[in-house]
């Protein structure tokens, strides 16, 4: 976040007091209007600028001024923040909008089915009608919001109404985002609510309807969108189970809101509102009919006994997530067997997750071939068998790695185990053991690295650090020490090279070579050290030869001197004998 903006005053009026985060549009802040006595809050959006070239800025400026006109029109709706102003300052573009006091819808949604209360059907219908009325207005202005999600729906504290915020991604406000939508540029909180066509640059008005349907399903089930399963054949989302408390009417509406192919969805917010209204009216008629049946049990023509015109008229393919299969063909009464078959497949899934593959397959195979659920059951059995085999193989690999103490391999194999509760629980035990041992191993290697570093053997210290498994919890510390010891090793290598050059300068090539041999590989001066090594070795060899010649000369000189001395001594010793002979002769 750009915390350096905190306290900054824009246009000598809007003082930034808080950062709200970044999005596709740019950075968003809360500011106070210091021109007013009460310093009311407002929202400041700083447009992301990717280029400082004049031509780019001119184009962006024109787009900015043009598209803010759209935001002004949108701000006229009571449930959309009012547009206050826009301006350019220091080659940055800013939008100022009304600040909505309240909390996001995220705070109201259930986290899961076990924690927090899921919404009632009436609450969901009320929510849908509230937001659909906003979307009907937005789409009438020729724009698409493109980022409908819980955190962009604020429950206004003043009147409890939902307010749709963050129009930074609306289709008409392009701001240089063309073509396909890279997943790396999508906020994590938006994933799961964005429909398939939006990722390939084919956003439609009913893309917003898809996102709204996903929020409603989350409210009903307590399951976040990314946790829902997808049918591998139809790509439709499987969200309804026998435990989901929802009528067939509303289930049909929600399923058509989130169809994979946008052409099969509701085409407008008005269309969904019309169906919801019709649904409410028919529900009231059914209630009245039930009362009439109780008062007159002989009345065989009660409305309750008839198929719903809404349900039989809607063309909705709900796959296995609904009790209604192909509502354009089957009436509500005709789909009652599909419920028990869907429930059978659901129970089979429970058996599969608990670890009884054979029972799960047997249950799934009991679904008759004429059932609408049969194709899915058949495909599910094949998927189960494949996943079970993969899970068993990866578990055995993790188990073998555990026996051999290859803890990183344990985690790698465990990560490949498919999402089967039985195998996951078995693998979790191995994972826990691996993580404990990785931490022990990490501490041991760190201790050895510290010892080597203390002895200035940074190469050995680095080698110990590189042996530390990447899955350890001390990753940041290890990276810091790797950088530190590598730098110290480079410094020490340069020190050895410097000393070698100093010793060579005074002709001590033997010491110079010893210094060079201490320079490790993978250091910046290693190549230079090798060159000097060859040079100094040759000079050392030459120096040795010269010394040998000098020593040989000294030895020869000594030998010659010794020989001369011996000859002189012999001559001296023989002289008296001659004198004696002369005496004798005389």
CATH number at residue 66: 3.30.200.20
pLDDT at res. 534: 92
383 CB contacts (<8 Å, ≥6 apart)?
232
pLDDT in tens, 51-86: 667 777 777 777 777 678 888 899 999 999 999 998
pLDDT at res. 105: 92
CA-to-CA separations, 228 to 216, 231, 242, 421, in angstroms, rounded = 13, 10, 15, 16
Mean pLDDT over the full length of the chain: 80
CA-to-CA separations, 532 to 146, 254, 515, 522, in angstroms, rounded = 65, 77, 11, 17
21 CB contacts (<8 Å, ≥6 apart)?
1, 27, 28
Q: Using alpha carbons, select from 76, 80, 75, 17 the residue that is nearest to residue 44.
A: 17
What crossing angle do the helices spanning 269-295 and 121-140 adopt, rounded to 10°?
A: 150
Asked if residue 403 has pLDDT above 80, the reply is yes
**111 and 88 belong to one structural domain:** no
What is the full DSSP assignment across 257-326? HT-SSGGGS-S-HHHHHHHHHHHHHHHHHHHHHHHHHHH-TT-TT-GGGSPPHHHHH-----GGGSS-S-
pLDDT at res. 568: 64
Q: Which of 331, 352, 376 is the last residue of a domain?
A: 331
pLDDT at res. 325: 30
**147 and 295 belong to one structural domain:** yes
Whole domain around residue 159: which residue ranges? Answer: 103-331
Q: List alpha helices for 416-474, DSSP H.
A: 421-454, 458-466
Per the model's pLDDT, the better-predicted residue between 277 and 49 turns out to be 277
pLDDT at res. 549: 81
**86 and 128 belong to one structural domain:** no
Per the model's pLDDT, the better-predicted residue between 188 and 9 turns out to be 9
**201 and 286 belong to one structural domain:** yes
Among the options 33, 147, 174, 579, which is catalytic? 147
User: Which pLDDT band holds residue 569 (cuts at 50, 70, 90)?
Assistant: low
pLDDT at res. 136: 94
Q: What is the share, in percent, of the chain residues with pLDDT greater than 90?
A: 31
Q: Using alpha carbons, select from 463, 514, 469, 467 the residue that is nearest to residue 489.
A: 463
Residue 409 CA to its chain's centroid (Å): 22
pLDDT at res. 16: 92
Report yes or no: 234 and 317 within 8 Å, Cβ to Cβ: yes
Q: What is the DSSP pairing of strand 229-230 with strand 237-238?
A: antiparallel
3-state secondary structure of 238: strand
Asked if residue 330 has pLDDT above 70, the reply is no
**What is the mean predicted confidence (pLDDT) over 256-283?**
90
What's the number of CA atoms in the CB half-sphere (13 Å) around residue 537?
9
**88 and 194 belong to one structural domain:** no
d(CA 154, CA 162): 5
* Full-model pTM: 0.52
**126 and 88 belong to one structural domain:** no
pLDDT at res. 456: 87
d(CA 200, CA 236): 18
**95 and 110 belong to one structural domain:** no
Report yes or no: 401 and 409 within 8 Å, Cβ to Cβ: yes
**20 and 126 belong to one structural domain:** no
Asked if residue 291 has pLDDT above 70, the reply is no
Strands of the 9-10 sheet, one edge to the other: 9-10, 14-22, 26-33, 41-47, 92-98, 83-89
| Strands (E) located in 23-143 | 26-33, 41-47, 83-89, 92-98, 102-104
d(CA 77, CA 159): 15
User: Which pLDDT band holds residue 331 (cuts at 50, 70, 90)?
Assistant: very low
Report yes or no: 462 and 486 within 8 Å, Cβ to Cβ: yes
d(CA 445, CA 465): 7
CATH number at residue 249: 1.10.510.10
User: Which pLDDT band holds residue 390 (cuts at 50, 70, 90)?
Assistant: very high
User: Which pLDDT band holds residue 298 (cuts at 50, 70, 90)?
Assistant: very low
pLDDT at res. 566: 67
* Alpha-carbon torsion, ordered 298, 300, 302, 306, to 10 deg: 160
pLDDT at res. 65: 75
User: Which pLDDT band holds residue 179 (cuts at 50, 70, 90)?
Assistant: very low
Q: Which of 286, 304, 331 is the last residue of a domain?
A: 331
pLDDT in tens, 441-480: 888 888 998 998 888 888 888 888 888 888 777 778 888 8
Q: How many domains does the chain fold into?
A: 2
Q: Which of 99, 125, 150 is the last residue of a domain?
A: 99
User: Which pLDDT band holds residue 581 (cuts at 50, 70, 90)?
Assistant: very low
Asked if residue 328 has pLDDT above 70, the reply is no
d(CA 580, CA 586): 10
45 has binding-site annotation: yes
User: Which pLDDT band holds residue 188 (cuts at 50, 70, 90)?
Assistant: low
**What is the mean predicted confidence (pLDDT) over 210-224?**
94
pLDDT at res. 399: 92
Report yes or no: 489 and 458 within 8 Å, Cβ to Cβ: yes
d(CA 8, CA 32): 11
Q: What is the share, in percent, of the chain residues with pLDDT greater than 70?
A: 79
Neighbours of 122 (CB within 10 A): 10
Residue 147 bears catalytic tag: yes
d(CA 80, CA 164): 5
d(CA 172, CA 389): 49
Determine, yes or no, domain membership for 110: yes
d(CA 77, CA 71): 11
User: Which pLDDT band holds residue 96 (cuts at 50, 70, 90)?
Assistant: very high
pLDDT at res. 473: 74
**25 and 124 belong to one structural domain:** no
């Amino acid at each position: 976040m750009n915390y350096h903006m905190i306290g900054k005053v824009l246009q000598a009026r809007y003082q930034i007091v808080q950062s709200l985060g970044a999005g596709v549009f740019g950075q968003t802040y809360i500011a106070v209007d210091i021109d007013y006595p009460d310093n009311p809050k407002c929202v400041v959006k700083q447009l992301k600028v990717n280029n400082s070239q004049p031509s780019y800025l001119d184009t962006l400026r024109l787009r900015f001024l043009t598209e803010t006109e759209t935001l002004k029109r949108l701000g006229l709706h009571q449930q959309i923040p009012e547009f206050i102003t826009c301006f350019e300052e220091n080659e940055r573009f800013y939008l100022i909008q009304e600040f909505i006091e309240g909390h996001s819808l995220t705070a109201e949604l259930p986290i899961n089915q076990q924690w927090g209360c899921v919404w009632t059907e009436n609450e969901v219908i009320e929510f849908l009608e509230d937001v659909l009325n906003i979307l009907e207005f937005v789409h009438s202005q020729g724009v698409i919001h493109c980022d409908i999600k819980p955190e962009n729906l604020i429950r206004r504290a003043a009147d409890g109404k939902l307010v749709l915020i963050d129009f930074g991604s609306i289709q008409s406000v392009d701001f240089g985002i063309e073509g396909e939508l890279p997943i790396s540029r999508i906020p994590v909180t938006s994933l799961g609510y964005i429909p398939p066509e939006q990722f390939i640059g084919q956003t439609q008005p009913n893309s917003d309807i898809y996102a709204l349907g996903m929020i409603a399903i989350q409210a009903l089930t307590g399951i976040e969108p990314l946790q829902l399963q997808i049918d591998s054949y139809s790509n439709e989302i499987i969200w309804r189970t026998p435990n989901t408390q929802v009528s067939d009417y509303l289930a049909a509406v929600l399923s058509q809101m989130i169809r994979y192919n946008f052409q099969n969805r509701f085409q407008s917010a008005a269309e969904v509102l019309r169906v919801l209204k019709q649904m409410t009216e028919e529900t009231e008629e059914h209630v009245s009919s039930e009362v009439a049946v109780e008062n007159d049990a002989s009345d065989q023509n009660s409305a309750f006994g008839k198929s719903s015109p809404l349900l039989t008229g809607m063309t909705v393919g709900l796959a296995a997530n609904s009790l209604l299969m192909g509502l354009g063909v089957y009436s509500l009464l005709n789909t009652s067997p599909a419920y028990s078959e869907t429930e059978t497949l659901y129970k089979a899934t429970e058996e599969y997750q608990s670890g009884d593959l054979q029972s799960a397959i047997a249950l799934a195979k009991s679904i008759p071939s004429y059932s609408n659920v049969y194709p899915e059951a058949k495909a599910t059995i094949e998927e189960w068998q494949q996943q079970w085999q993969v899970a068993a193989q990866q578990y055995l690999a993790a188990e073998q790695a555990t026996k051999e103490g290859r803890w990183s391999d344990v985690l790698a194999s465990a990560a490949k185990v498919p999402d089967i509760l039985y195998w996951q629980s078995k693998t979790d035990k191995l994972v826990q053991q691996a993580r404990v041992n990785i931490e022990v191993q990490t501490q041991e290697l760190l201790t050895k690295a510290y010892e080597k570093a203390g002895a200035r053997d940074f190469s050995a210290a680095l080698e110990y650090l590189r042996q530390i498994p990447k899955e350890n919890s001390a990753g940041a510390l290890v990276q810091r020490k790797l950088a530190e010891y590598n730098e110290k090793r480079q410094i020490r290598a340069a020190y050895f090279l410097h000393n070698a050059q100093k010793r060579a300068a005074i002709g001590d090539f033997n010491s110079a070579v010893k210094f060079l041999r201490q320079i490790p590989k993978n250091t910046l001066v290693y190549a230079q050290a090798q060159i000097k090594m060859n040079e100094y070795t040759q000079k050392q060899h030459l120096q040795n030869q010269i010394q040998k010649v000098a020593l040989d000369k000294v030895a020869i000189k000594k030998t010659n001197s010794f020989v001369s001395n011996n000859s002189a001594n012999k001559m001296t010793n023989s002289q008296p004998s001659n004198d004696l002979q002369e005496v004798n002769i005389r």
